[in-house]
């Protein structure tokens, strides 16, 4: 892959949306790694409402600064959860396929899309991405916080995500790079690769690295309201071939 000059790692940049705190407040502890992924995530969404429902600021910032060359076309949101990113993309004019392993998460997401008036622009589907990846090609493929305390072939999923990007399209990968500053006992299962490690592991031919940077999320309160910060990673790749 070829790297743009602007894709150099920038650890000093803050997210523009300081209020987003959905991720980081609900790190999952004490889960048997052998638990069936569908069972675990369905129980997780059934027993809690973990996310804010808003789009992830890193995705909003990235597309605001560098709009997709394909314009608002087709998008695939992998691991969409309760739909914040998919609903925002639909509101920007994208036609979105949004997939998640949890039927409960998808049900909540569909309800939120109806409330936002964009349900006609989103198709929801239940997929276990390890075994059942959606077929097709999209102008934009996104995945935000593809982390799991149970079985997950993250690198394999990201490779299939890249294969699902149409020529001239983009792949955006957002993930945690560090734990919230207030967290004293991080979960032992966490795999938090750097942007450089993500790019190196994919090692794709016919792609250009548009962004590979760290971003500081400045407002990540604990469940008890203690203020904190967290560092995330943003990788954006453009398919040239």
Per residue of the chain (241 residues), give pLDDT as tens: 655 534 443 433 333 332 233 343 345 556 677 777 777 778 877 876 655 568 988 999 999 998 887 779 999 999 999 999 999 999 999 999 999 999 999 999 999 999 999 999 999 999 999 889 999 999 999 999 887 766 778 899 999 999 999 999 999 999 988 888 887 777 767 788 999 999 999 999 999 999 999 998 887 777 778 888 888 999 999 999 7
What phi and psi values does residue 127 have, to the nearest 5 degrees? Answer: -140, 135
3-state secondary structure of 210: strand
State pTM to two decimals.
Answer: 0.83
pLDDT of 80: 94
Check residue 4 and give its pLDDT.
Answer: 54
**Contact indicator for 133, 126 with CB cutoff of 8 Å:** no
Instruction: Please name the helix (run of DSSP H) or strand (run of DSSP E) that holds residue 83, with its range, or none.
Output: none
3-state SS class at 90: helix
Pairing assessment for the beta strands 165-176 and 207-217 based on DSSP bridges: unpaired
Q: Which residues pair with 141 in a beta bridge?
A: 76, 171
- Give the pLDDT score at 16: 30
| Strand, coil or helix: 140 | strand
Q: In CATH, what number does 2-239 get?
A: 3.40.50.150
Dihedral sign, Cα of residue 60, residue 65, residue 67, residue 72:
positive
């Amino acid at each position: 892959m070829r790297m743009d000059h602007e894709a150099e790692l920038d650890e000093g940049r803050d997210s523009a949306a300081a209020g987003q705190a959905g991720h980081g407040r609900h790190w999952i502890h004490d889960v048997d790694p052998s638990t069936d992924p569908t069972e675990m995530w369905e129980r997780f969404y059934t027993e809690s409402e973990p996310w804010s429902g808003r789009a992830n600021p890193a995705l909003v910032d990235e597309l605001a600064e560098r709009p997709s060359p394909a314009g608002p076309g087709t998008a695939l949101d992998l691991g969409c959860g309760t739909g914040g990113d998919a609903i925002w993309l639909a509101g920007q004019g994208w036609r979105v396929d949004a997939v998640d392993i949890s039927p409960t998460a998808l049900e909540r997401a569909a309800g939120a899309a109806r409330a936002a008036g964009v349900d006609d622009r989103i198709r929801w589907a239940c997929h276990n991405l390890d075994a059942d990846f959606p077929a097709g090609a999209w102008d934009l493929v996104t995945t935000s916080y593809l982390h799991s305390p149970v079985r997950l072939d993250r690198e394999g999923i990201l490779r299939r995500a890249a294969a699902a990007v149409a020529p001239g399209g983009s792949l955006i990968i957002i993930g945690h790079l560090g734990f919230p500053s207030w967290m004293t006992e991080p979960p032992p299962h966490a795999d938090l690769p750097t942007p450089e490690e993500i790019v190196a592991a994919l090692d794709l031919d016919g792609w250009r690295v548009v962004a590979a940077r760290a971003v500081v999320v400045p407002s990540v309160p604990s469940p008890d309201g203690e203020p904190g910060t967290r560092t995330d990673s943003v990788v954006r790749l453009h398919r040239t071939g």
